[in-house]
Structure 1
């Protein structure tokens, strides 16, 4: 994932700055981008979607428990 993102960023930089090759060699720029991205706390889309589903189920359970508690409190 990081390698792909670094490659896409490198391609975007090269398209925006045609003289990038003269300023910083392509390999060095690619390594710098990979290093910078590796330090970020990134997750894949699949991980994000899975955690979103878990959060949604947890919210539903919480709402159910809150309703049950409210019913118990109203009876007491």
Structure 2
């Protein structure tokens, strides 16, 4: 009986999953833009190319998560 499981094949396979914290990404983008260009960016004007990010990290899947601030008066 032959063993078809080859552990070296499993080790060489590269699977990357990318998890994006939307709130942190937006804040970092706004802070970087203000620092380098001296202008304010509104959240609704931010267009991020998630496919470019996925390709840059050579990720198989990208998971985007964000939170909703439900506290009134902040």
User: Normalising by structure 2, what TM-score?
Assistant: 0.29
Of the two, which has the highest radius of gyration? 1
- Higher share of residues assigned strand: 2
- Higher share of residues assigned helix: 1
